[in-house]
Amino acid sequence: MLKSPTNNTTFFLGRGGASIFGKNFEDELHPELKFTGAGILAMANAGPDTNGSQFFLTLGPTQWLDGKHSIFGRVSQGIGVLNRVGMVETNSQDRPIDDIKILRVNLPI
């Protein structure tokens, strides 16, 4: 996990790398999907069509990300856990002092 160095409204998971689609794949942007608050799950990227395997969750509204990152999910239960993750102590590189692990995720079908 890495908090955004410029704000406390996003945190990144993993280090990125190749995905099942290869090194990079195209954005899947839908204008109706917006970064309206906490719990939005989206692809991290380095610019248009540079998606890999890294993703992030928002900790609050991040409207400046609209149209720049592919949104593919949202937290539907347990937003309090996400809020607690956003409050952990970090070092000078904005990395958590203690490791944070996601042990279980439920995906409703």
Averaged confidence pLDDT in the chain:
84
Mapping DSSP to helix (H, G, I), strand (E, B) and coil, where does residue 88 land? coil
| H helix or E strand, kind and range, residue 11 | strand 10-13
4 confidence band (pLDDT: 50, 70, 90): low
Domains of the chain: 1-91 (2.40.100.10)
Cα separation, 55 vs 44, whole angstroms? 5
Quick one: 37 exposed, middle or buried, by C-beta within 10 A (0-12, 13-18, 19+)? Answer: middle
- What mean pLDDT do residues 85-109 have? 85
Q: What is the pLDDT of residue 2?
A: 45
For residue 38, give the nearest of 5, 85, 6, 103 by alpha carbon.
85
- What mean pLDDT do residues 91-106 have? 86
Report pLDDT digits (tens) over 62-76: 999 999 999 999 998
